Amino acid sequence: MTLKSADHFHDGPLNDVEVLRIRNDFPILDTEVNGFPLIYLDSGATSQNPLSVMEAEQEYYEQRNSAVHRGAHTLAVEATDVFEDARETVASFIGAESNELVWIQNATAGLNLIAYSFGNASVGTATPEARKFALGPGDEVLVTEMEHHANLIPWQELCRRTGAALKFIPIHDDGTLDMQAAAVLIGERTKVVAFTHVSNVTGVINPAAELTAMAHKVGALVVLDACQSAPHLPLDVKALDVDFAVFSGHKMLGPTGIGGLYGRAELLDAMPPFLTGGSMITTVTMTEAAYLPAPQRFEAGTQPISQAVAMAAAANYLCETGMARIHEWEASLGQRLVRGLEGIEGIRVLGPASGVPRAGLASFEVAGVHAHDVGQYLDAAGIAVRVGHHCAQPLHRRLGLTASTRASTYLYNTTAEVDAFLAAVAGVRGYFGATGA
């Protein structure tokens, strides 16, 4: 399975004509909801799947279904081959080597794996090479105020278990990261800096390379939450120089139940395992076990084989379209969303104002109307959005809210869909009788 370079397929930016062609690859987009054509603006939560992804998984089950790395018969060999080919494809998608990609259930599982592995390195039985990950009283883990709960709670728990202190980089009122505060907070006590590449609430794109350089200057490890960047913009973990990164298949046109954890090879090989059992060992006696090198040491038990094959198909689809082209298209849709929302009375957009670079999403508050009511109103018109705190309660609390409505775009959304969404939002306050100042 070979990762395909977009440069050989298309030239020039995406436009509505090509997006309409792309939409033909996504059967669900022909669905009607409540009598209206579906306008799917919830890809920030879960993206839709092209036919090639669904067919890849089906083809695996029809022709190659077997346990990997466990048998010598033909099906087992073929299953192992496509499984490891998929690893190579997805690793290449983010600029990594195949031995630096661990299959995980999702990004949340990947972040927990890292945190629990560091915790295992903090006990007296850890191997000498694993002690580099150990934390204790006096050490600090640094996150940001905009983190998804998945990149916050595992670090809270790690600090609770080890006695390390958890600190956070605050944000400005416009949702951007306070880099001056970051420069002060990242110091000799900092052992881990974990941050999101792109905020799932505000669409802010954080200066990942700059933060990484600051962390490495003091010897800290960097963990990147790439859930909202890997699907939407060109991601090169080597160029960013991060130590670890996580991302989920279901946000990048792939299936649920699988994601990727990138780690520098020398770091993964030194880390103690998190889950133990079959398929991650070399020898086992009744009293002890020796573990395989990464990535297998972190892949105990039966693996998500068909999902890996399908995730690789998703990576190929994105590369064929062109990640730079996708990012440019979504950035234009994001600006269209923000400009339109800013022009509607009673709407407060979270994050930077129009004109400031952002991902292709926008979260907003409607004065006098709860976010859940906004979502139901839009759903009645066939428009799917996300409502709630988006697993980022501290960020919402910092912005003075308990919930917001989020519209998030992808490569299959058109400008006409964004305009239809904006027209629907313009009618929300009138419908609920909240048209006063």
Question: How many Cβ atoms from other residues are within 10 Å of residue 109's Cβ?
Answer: 21
- Give residue 353's pLDDT band: very low, low, confident or very high (50, 70, 90): very high
Joined tokens for residue 337: 């969303």
10-40+323-430 folds as Aspartate Aminotransferase, domain 1 (3.90.1150)
- Report domain extents, the chain: 10-40+323-430, 57-319
Q: Write down the pLDDT at residue 5.
A: 40
Q: How far is it between the farthest Cα atoms of the chain? A: 74
- Per the annotation, the verdict on 319 as an active-site residue is no
Q: What is the mean pLDDT of the chain?
A: 95
Starting at the earlier edge strand, list the strands of the sheet with 259-263: 101-104, 259-263, 244-248, 221-225, 190-196, 140-144, 165-169
Over 60: is that where the pLDDT of 7 sits? Answer: no
Which class does domain 57-319 fall in?
alpha beta
Q: Write down the pLDDT at residue 437.
A: 53
Decide if 10-40+323-430 and 57-319 have a common fold.
Answer: no
Over 50: is that where the pLDDT of 121 sits? Answer: yes
Pairing of strands 32-33, 36-37: antiparallel
How far apart (Å, rounded) are the C-alpha atoms in residues 101 and 313?
16
The amino acid at residue 344 is I
> Each residue of 262-310: pLDDT tens digit?
999 999 999 999 999 999 999 999 999 999 999 999 999 999 999 999 9
The one catalytic residue in 159, 227, 319, 391 is 391
Q: What angle do CA 325, 331, 332 make, to 5 degrees?
A: 95
Over 90: is that where the pLDDT of 436 sits? Answer: no
> Each residue of 364-411: pLDDT tens digit?
999 999 999 999 999 999 999 999 999 999 999 999 999 999 999 999
